[in-house]
Each structure stands twice: as structure tokens, then as C-alpha cells.
Structure 1
């Protein structure tokens, strides 16, 4: 899988299944780890959480939707 380096971290392309169709997302390692942690907190499989996020996105690409989901999750956690 390809990767790019930058100040925000390594971006890796990963394959995921959305509604039974294979697609790819390009995501920084830190966001990928965050999505995995959130899935574990919710006692969901990673693919289940990604499908929920994909279904709820507003025309945003999946990579952006995953980043925004993780950011919002941690912002809400800080408010508690």
C-alpha cells in the first residue's frame, strides 16, 4: 500500500468493505488508530463502525468523513 510523509504523519491507503463493496481510504496512521480505538470503546467491529460513518456522511469522501468523525468523538469526550 502507498504512503506519503508530511508534517501531519504518514498517510496510508487501506482497503475497507462498504456495503459489501471493496473501496480504499487514504488516512493518517493517527486517525486510523483513533477509529480503531473508538470501535473498541463501542464494542463494534472496525468494519461496522466504518459502515455507520459511511452511511451518515454528507457527500464527503470517506477519508474526510472518518477524520471528522474521530475529531468530533474526541471533542465530545473532552466536554464530559
Structure 2
């Protein structure tokens, strides 16, 4: 369970429901920066990612990691 200690959990309101997502701090750093560049709150960015993901194909945590990787590769 050593890996779980390295995850940082954040909570969001998505589609009227409260949900928590645990990601490595490095992913949150990239997502925070992406939200700032787009003039959004982190919650707004997560909501946008959530509404465009294919829920069956990508759990929210995976969709956030993929978005962060795409953002990092653009820089």
C-alpha cells in the first residue's frame, strides 16, 4: 500500500454528486496549471473533462491523468 500514500485526494461536485479523485501530486500540478492557463477553476476543468470523457472507457482518474499528459506534452 505504499503507492496509496503518495496520492492526493480532491473532492468535486460533478453532475450534482460529490466525488473524490486521488491522483499523484504531479498530475494535480499539471492540471492546476492548465486550469489557470484557461482561466478556469480546477473544479471547472475537472467538470469539462468529466463531461467529455467516455465513462465506460475511462474512469475519471484515468481521464484526468490522460488530460494532464496531453497538457504536459504540449509544453
TM-score band w.r.t. shorter chain: 0.7 to 0.9
SS in 2 for 1:17: strand
Q: CA RMSD in A?
A: 1.5
SS in 2 for 1:44: coil
- Structure 2 residue 41 is the aligned partner of structure 1 residue 4: no
Q: Say which of 72, 75, 78 aligns to 2:70.
A: 72
- TM-score w.r.t. length of structure 2: 0.83
- TM-score w.r.t. length of structure 1: 0.78
**1:26 Cα offset (Å):** 1.2
Higher relative contact order (CA 8 A, sep 6+): 2
Structure 1 runs not aligned, ≥5 long: none
CA distance, structure 1, for counterparts of residue 40 and residue 29 of structure 2: 14
* Cross-structure match for 1:36: 32
Q: Deviations over 1:22-49 (max 9, x none)?
A: 0011110110111111000001111111
| Displaced runs of 4 or more, over 2 A | none
